[in-house]
Amino acid sequence: MVHMCTVTPISLTVGANRIIPTIAIPYPLGDPKLTKEEEKVLRRKLVEKALKALETEVDGQTVFED
């Protein structure tokens, strides 16, 4: 499992092992300031990062920064 969330300290507290930091609490995978197309590009980048994290071996709680 990979956890995508904005407040990563909470994710660490509750015990997720693969963590992807996201954009904001009400829109973790979007940004209303962008156009719909730009937003989707941003979302895709984050999801691809999450898939990459799933393919990565970790030996403890890991936050996948850039």
Would you count residue 22 as binding another protein (CB under 8 A)? yes
Size of the site for another protein (CB under 8 A): 42
- Residues 21, 37 contacting (CB under 8 angstroms): no
Cβ-based nearer residue to another protein, 57 or 66: 57
Cβ-based nearer residue to another protein, 60 or 66: 60
- β-bridge partners, 21: 5
Cβ-based nearer residue to another protein, 59 or 66: 59
The site string for another protein over 26-55 (x = CB under 8 A, - otherwise) reads xxxxx-x---x--xx--xx-xxx-xx--xx
Residue 66 token pair: 């850039």
In angstroms, the CA 23 to CA 46 distance is 9
- β-bridge partners, 62: 18
